[in-house]
Chain A
């Protein structure tokens, strides 16, 4: 880790919702320029962690640094350098895809002319030209993820946070998304995305952080975390997967009716 610039570092990040501790002291590290995957079972605290890093959820304790700047104390430095695609596809439903991008550009202080140019290019790359004047409320899941990613990329952020960007996305759209992200990281920018799909993380990422029950249980270059196993096997070992489910269900598959 010596000499490596870190795009993201958190120290002792904690968040509890009432009695339930969602994130219990997370020390996440992501080197600059990496394509990083944040993996973990449901309820591990991935979304909560990403929300706290991006300033959408107030941490109960701990520190978030993005390229050395404290995300909660110096928002002016941090907010212009990050792009976010949160979970749940929450967008301005009554704007068209194109209007959503132009709105984002204007909010970010990009001139109208430049905003329109970037929006047009992003719409073309994301294959959304045909539906650019349709309302987002009428978009499919894949289209929403693509327009969300386009909006997050519009101001050319140094670090991009994506929460489950591939969930519910068809293979064609997923391919478009990965192509765009690959190009983006190749230029030295950083992507951090959460996912359940181990194959995808294994294929795309050079850095992986594994979360379980509110903690980071392993993180590092993907080869180090895998140690010769497939990422899926390594993951199941790390999070301590339960029984094989062979007990019970004896009736299942034994009849034709």
Chain B
């Protein structure tokens, strides 16, 4: 049975080689990345030999804990993509829980990333062990820690499999992805803020992670004595308990009624809908506001825009070594405006396969123009306050005089991106997959279109803002008042022209935003 599962996993991997060019490129990418991680990890860990023992032990502990975290998070993000992760897929086969346990465990050890992480972990034996007993403990500790990773990761996916198959669970996961991405930027930001040097952070982090299951294993190798042996035994016991819990969770997952078809709750009726103007504009704004809140893609877009703005503000503060110049007060807000409005470069992408509902109604360009205006108004309603807050924060960290010019420039540049985005939305529309992928925001084969439209709008908006930006940089702060005039003044005719083109291209536009993903 173990052999069967391993062959199934190998077939699934081989299957991705037979797929489209995109899939093959994806596999090649993960193969090369896995190889790099394996070699670099091994080399760096083995290289710890040159450091003093306590520092080496700290780095090893952090590394082992990081691997465990990756093992927990990675499969959750892969859920639905790896067919061996969801026990419900196998529920109908006549297998005992024991067979299934061994089979699933074996299949999760097969693949590019498991092999890469095992190889990298082996490096710790060379880097951390400073005695023969340490090396001997390492030979046992590394496989035990690897088994711990496998079992804990399986336990987490199995326990959550029921929730992950419901719509709400998947929505939450999509937002969790972006939090992980943003969270991974935190250490770098903290380092930039000068909260102690890198070594001190590692020592402090290791002090906590030393008690994580895999952290114990790393520490055991460095210790090399009786304490080390006890630690390895503790990790093994922990792994055994997790394995037992996993079997319990697996039994439950196989026999529990499928909850994926159970509906979610009701939504609250809008209280502010009446404030919006009647007609296409109001209808589109109401819908877009709901999507920003309810659709995971909408939430992810806004959370990441917020994250970019915050990172920008912090990085300005970091640079205030000498006398602050206008650029420091304006640049973060200007860039924030560009990033926030970037979602207008593929306005119809979020509608996807539902765009026909609008298409069967719009008979005149004016209707499509109101539609575009509604989408731009929504981004402005949500983005402008965010940009103003960013201007205030940046101004307080640099020179308060710059708050108003920065806000005007940040909000005005949004209009410029709307202008360019009106055209990219109708000329280079692309499908936004409903399942969010960390690597691309477009359907297979449309990466080029996505890249062209977002980079094009970013550069276009930036270049168009130069006539205002340059005088402001030169000290003529009042010129910033012209930015909203320029931005929204250009967005107006751009929508008019783009709506004529868009209406003519509507069938092609619909096909482009509703590609299978």
**Residues on A facing B (Cβ under 8 Å):** 54-58, 75-76, 78-80, 82, 84, 86, 88, 90-96, 98-99, 102-104, 106-109, 111-112, 131, 133-135, 137-140, 151
State whether A133 touches B269 (Cβ < 8 A). yes
Interface flag for B507 (CB, 8 Å): yes
State whether A56 touches B507 (Cβ < 8 A). yes
Instruction: Select which of B261, B278, B356, B508 is within 8 A of A86 by beta carbon.
Output: B356
Question: Can you list, as one digit per residue, whether each of B275-299 has a CB less than 8 Å from chain A (1) or not (0)?
Answer: 0001110110011001100110000
Q: A56-B356, A84-B356, A84-B360 are in contact. List 19 more A-B contacts (CB 8 A).
A: A56-B507, A56-B510, A57-B507, A75-B363, A76-B364, A90-B352, A90-B514, A91-B354, A92-B351, A93-B354, A94-B290, A96-B266, A106-B280, A107-B280, A107-B357, A109-B279, A133-B266, A138-B167, A139-B263
Q: Tell me the minimal C-beta distance from B160 to chain A in angstroms.
A: 20
* Total A-B pairs, Cβ < 8 A: 97
User: How many Å lie between the Cα of A109 and that of B370 in the bound state?
Assistant: 12
Interface flag for B358 (CB, 8 Å): yes
What chain A residues lie within 8 Å of B167 (beta carbons)?
137-138
State whether B279 touches A90 (Cβ < 8 A). no
State whether A134 touches B264 (Cβ < 8 A). yes
Interface flag for B81 (CB, 8 Å): no
Q: Which chain B residue shows the least CB distance to A96? A: B267
Q: Which chain A residue shows the least CB distance to B510? A: A56
What chain B residues lie within 8 Å of A75 (beta carbons)?
363-364
What chain B residues lie within 8 Å of A111 (beta carbons)?
278
User: How many Å lie between the Cα of A96 and that of B269 in the bound state?
Assistant: 9
Q: Tell me the minimal C-beta distance from B302 to chain A in angstroms.
A: 14
User: How many Å lie between the Cα of A137 and that of B296 in the bound state?
Assistant: 13
State whether B291 touches A94 (Cβ < 8 A). yes
Interface flag for B362 (CB, 8 Å): yes
Q: Tell me the minimal C-beta distance from A164 to chain B in angstroms.
A: 15
Interface flag for B173 (CB, 8 Å): no
User: How many Å lie between the Cα of A99 and that of B293 in the bound state?
Assistant: 15
What chain A residues lie within 8 Å of B360 (beta carbons)?
54-56, 79, 82, 84
State whether A135 touches B507 (Cβ < 8 A). no
Interface flag for B353 (CB, 8 Å): yes
Q: Tell me the minimal C-beta distance from B168 to chain A in angstroms.
A: 9
What chain A residues lie within 8 Å of B278 (beta carbons)?
106, 111-112
State whether A80 touches B264 (Cβ < 8 A). no
User: How many Å lie between the Cα of A170 and that of B46 in the bound state?
Assistant: 64
Known: A104-B357, A134-B265. A76 touches B287 (CB 8 A): no
What chain A residues lie within 8 Å of B510 (beta carbons)?
56
What chain B residues lie within 8 Å of A151 (beta carbons)?
357
Q: Tell me the minimal C-beta distance from A205 to chain B in angstroms.
A: 23
What chain B residues lie within 8 Å of A137 (beta carbons)?
167, 264
What chain B residues lie within 8 Å of A98 (beta carbons)?
269
Q: Which chain A residue shows the least CB distance to B167? A: A137
Q: Which chain A residue shows the least CB distance to B296? A: A94
Interface flag for B37 (CB, 8 Å): no
The size of the chain B interface, using a CB distance under 8 A, is: 40
Known: A56-B510, A57-B507. A92 touches B263 (CB 8 A): no
Q: Tell me the minimal C-beta distance from A245 to chain B in angstroms.
A: 27
What chain B residues lie within 8 Å of A94 (beta carbons)?
290-291, 294-295
Instruction: Select which of B290, B356, B359, B361 is within 8 A of A99 by beta carbon.
Output: B290
User: How many Å lie between the Cα of A46 and that of B270 in the bound state?
Assistant: 39
Instruction: Select which of A84, A112, A138 is within 8 A of B264 by beta carbon.
Output: A138
Question: Can you list, as one digit per residue, whether each of B1-25 has a CB less than 8 Å from chain A (1) or not (0)?
Answer: 0000000000000000000000000
Chosen A-B contacts, 15 in total, with CB atoms closer than 8 Å, are A55-B506, A56-B356, A79-B360, A79-B361, A79-B362, A90-B354, A91-B354, A98-B269, A99-B290, A133-B266, A133-B268, A135-B267, A135-B294, A137-B264, A138-B263
User: How many Å lie between the Cα of A96 and that of B293 in the bound state?
Assistant: 13
What chain A residues lie within 8 Å of B354 (beta carbons)?
90-93
User: How many Å lie between the Cα of A88 and that of B354 in the bound state?
Assistant: 10
State whether B286 touches A103 (Cβ < 8 A). yes
Instruction: Select which of A78, A90, A109, A138 is within 8 A of B353 by beta carbon.
Output: A90
State whether B363 touches A103 (Cβ < 8 A). no
What chain B residues lie within 8 Å of A86 (beta carbons)?
356
Q: Which chain A residue shows the least CB distance to B278? A: A112
User: How many Å lie between the Cα of A140 and that of B279 in the bound state?
Assistant: 30
What chain A residues lie within 8 Å of B352 (beta carbons)?
90
State whether A106 touches B283 (Cβ < 8 A). yes
Q: Which chain B residue shows the least CB distance to A59? A: B507
Q: Tell me the minimal C-beta distance from A90 to chain B in angstroms.
A: 4
Q: Tell me the minimal C-beta distance from A144 to chain B in angstroms.
A: 12
Known: A103-B286, A134-B265. A108 touches B514 (CB 8 A): no
What chain A residues lie within 8 Å of B261 (beta carbons)?
140
What chain B residues lie within 8 Å of A95 (beta carbons)?
287, 290
What chain A residues lie within 8 Å of B353 (beta carbons)?
88, 90
State whether B290 touches A107 (Cβ < 8 A). no
What chain B residues lie within 8 Å of A106 (beta carbons)?
278-280, 282-283
Q: Tell me the minimal C-beta distance from A87 to chain B in angstroms.
A: 11
What chain A residues lie within 8 Å of B268 (beta carbons)?
133
Instruction: Select which of A54, A56, A107, A139 is within 8 A of B283 by beta carbon.
Output: A107
Q: Tell me the minimal C-beta distance from B112 to chain A in angstroms.
A: 34
Q: Tell me the minimal C-beta distance from A161 to chain B in angstroms.
A: 9
User: How many Å lie between the Cα of A151 and that of B351 in the bound state?
Assistant: 17
Q: Which chain A residue shows the least CB distance to B270? A: A99
User: How many Å lie between the Cα of A104 and that of B357 in the bound state?
Assistant: 8
User: How many Å lie between the Cα of A134 and that of B290 in the bound state?
Assistant: 13
User: How many Å lie between the Cα of A56 and that of B266 in the bound state?
Assistant: 32
User: How many Å lie between the Cα of A103 and that of B287 in the bound state?
Assistant: 8
User: How many Å lie between the Cα of A178 and that of B352 in the bound state?
Assistant: 30
Q: Tell me the minimal C-beta distance from A156 to chain B in angstroms.
A: 14
What chain B residues lie within 8 Å of A96 (beta carbons)?
266-267
Known: A94-B291, A137-B167. A107 touches B361 (CB 8 A): yes
Q: 7 closest pairs, A vs B, by CB?
A: A106-B283, A138-B263, A90-B353, A133-B266, A75-B363, A94-B294, A79-B363
